[in-house]
Structure 1
């Protein structure tokens, strides 16, 4: 029998957890928080536009293009930086991009004019693609039967960051000024980005071919994988429908019959917190029933939301319900489609980049058309654009290729 001294040395309270086990325990929560903080940088300027315009002696409409610059910067980052996750150490890449984002936000906080601010926002948004580097890593390391739930945790963080940028960014800017909001975002990005890089697993990779070979391979990757192609097209349709409705909702709320203030209309962004509840549930459903079935029901939910949004043109309660339903549909579809995109090829980073770019393209195009539709046909025209995007996204993938 072991001696008392030996038993004392080997008791559970005395056993230290190996560093790798401790790292695995904190890795997913830290990645989710880092995703929230970095994703918020893309939308940071949007709620601060009135304050920025006042500081530079301009009007909000004259500086609104700064928010669009952030979208273009993010798109460029997705194309050039996100595919590097297949060939470059993600630990080093996350650290470098976090520092670049921090520096760009700091420069933006000191910007003497709107052009300098726009340039800083462009660089910061291009470098803030850290979430799309981390999602493939989470999918790779997750147990097969819990993969979608782990991906859902990161997606939940992403949507939480989007909401925080719109709500908290506006509150901080109102209390301390828009420059303080940029400084705060820079500090959070540096702390969370470097902390996440420190706990990421060490990867020793030998790069073959040009640095941006992943970008060049994306079109052929989509052509060779019918599952990836379906995930891209279906999410483009879903995200396009959501973007058409969500980006023009403020126009509806600030005009007749509602006539709300811009600040009050902005509180509708809190409905984005639906993602925090739906994403883990959707992850469990994908693990249990498969991605295809979850996407199918997500599209049914989105189809129900369109007539509710149309009715919301006159009935506020219908808008409340529609906002919850469309967010639930978007997040469930995103969890399912992104899990499929990450597991259907041998190049998960490039596949994930193709998937996110496709969704972004669908959303940007639908938003532009929705703005024109609202100008010419009102809120009913916006709902028609959203419905058309859903039909196109599902109909073009319903038959086997």
Structure 2
């Protein structure tokens, strides 16, 4: 069985801030390519469809890393694992910045995704190091860094590419990855020696975590539903802004600022999750999410209502996620890297399904059908949370 030293409660504010910066800087690499695919295609003399494979490979690499790399956090010192992944990420990004052919870009993008799994090592590490009474607040701060990185990546990539070309964003991010490795070495506490099962047995036990904890199954379902709402909304929002309001690419990108404002609420949600039972907290946050989807439906006639809906939906999704993570990381500190893998895998599966359903709804009846889907998924999540709150066996 894996063992860890008793170091919970040692995190300072500066250490939490450094971990938030690390997660945001790292996860952004999965999204930098999305707004610059046209520039990449023109530079490499390939079609837009061929360039469009780049972000898919980054996400595929991240999925592979989530399954085969992130569980190593239950076997070795996670500080050392993060430093190693960030160093390799730096190399992969440098390769991406100088890749002369499409095949080289594909390989570098895939490796970038694998190394970006460092995010899913840092977040459970922060939860382990935080004292139980502050775990929700600490997780929310680190998770805010992750969300800010995701939401701002497209804006930053577009601005950098417009000024210095598409390769510059990867060169700058390579420098940032090296900086994160140094920051982690200097600021993040070490867990010391960890003794866990052999690697293959570790991987086999990852799937077994699903059966161990009813709470994990419950919050994973909520995570899948809420991230499904998030992805369905953001996938189709571009179509609505362009078609109904005549927004250009720059204006659509700036709409992401509304989402960043929503991310700022996560620390408050973390504090509340430390004071309230998570199941009750989720009733509140999912109620907020449902209100946001109703505002999105009303936003068909007003861009300002749509901007407000964007903030409210993001607040609902993020606050629910923070509360869920606080529950997940309290289950078993000795296995929370594997537990995190199960939760995040379910979370992203929900996002993929939400994206697919959102596109199909748009094809069926445009924004009206999308909003029906958003309201339906939010309502289902609220019903699930209501049943959980009434179930005394729900682990709070």
TM-score by length of 1: 0.89
Inter-partner Cα distance in structure 1 for 2:299 and 2:165 = 34
What's the RMSD between the two structures over aligned residues?
Answer: 2.0
Structure 2 partner of 1:9: none
Partners of 1:380 and 1:115 in 2: CA distance: 41
Q: Does 1:315 align with 2:282?
A: no
The structure 1 residue matched to 2:341, chosen from 349, 353, 356, is 353
Which of these residues, 62, 72, 76, is aligned with residue 74 of structure 1? 62
Any unmatched runs of 5+ in structure 2?
1-8
Quick one: structure 1 residues 136 and 321, their matched pair in 2 at CA, closer, same or farther if it must change by over 3 Å?
same
Q: 2:373 aligns with which of 378, 385, 389?
A: 385
Q: Report the 3-state secondary structure (helix = DSSP H, G, I; strand = E; otherwise coil) of the residue aligned with 2:204.
A: helix
Contact residue 77 and residue 194 of structure 2 kept, 8 A: no
- Range with greater deviation from structure 2 (320-329 or 144-153): 144-153
Q: Is residue 11–residue 129 contact of structure 2 (8 Å, CA) maintained in 1?
A: no
CA offset at residue 214 of structure 1?
3.7
Pairwise CA distance, 1:389: 2.6
Q: Return the offset for 1:108.
A: 0.8
Equivalent residue of 1:378, what SS? helix
Of the three residues 12, 15, 28, the one matched with 1:27 is: 15
Q: 2:52 aligned with 1:52, yes or no?
A: no
TM-score by length of 2: 0.90
Residue 216, structure 1, aligned to residue 204, structure 2: yes
CA distance in 1, matches of 2:373, 2:202: 33
Q: Distance in 1 between matches of 2:255 and 2:114?
A: 27
Size of the aligned set, in residue pairs, is 380
Indicate the residue corresponding to 1:364 in structure 2.
352
Look up the match of 2:331: 344
Matched, 1:295 2:282: yes
CA deviations 1:204-254 (Å, max 9, x no partner) are: 335443314343223321222111111111011111011101122111111
Deviation at 1:59, TM superposition (A): 4.7
Distance 1:326 1:22 in 2: 34
Alignment partner of 2:73 out of 85, 104, 108: 85
Q: CA deviation at 1:81?
A: 1.4
- Structure 1 residues 177-186 or 157-166, which shifts more? 157-166
Query: Could you say which residue in structure 2 is the equivalent of 1:125?
Result: 113
Structure 1 alignment gaps of length 5 or more = 1-20
For residue 39 of structure 1, the aligned residue among 15, 27, 36 is 27
User: 1:309·1:319 contact (CA, 8 Å) conserved in 2?
Assistant: yes
Which range moves more in the overlay, 175-184 or 86-95? 86-95
Q: Secondary structure at the match of 1:188?
A: helix
2:257 is matched with 270
Larger radius of gyration: 1
Deviations 1:118-170 (A, max 9, x none): 22111101111222211222122222221111111101111111123111111
Moved more, 353-362 or 385-394: 385-394
How far apart in 2 are the matches of 1:41 and 1:320? Answer: 26
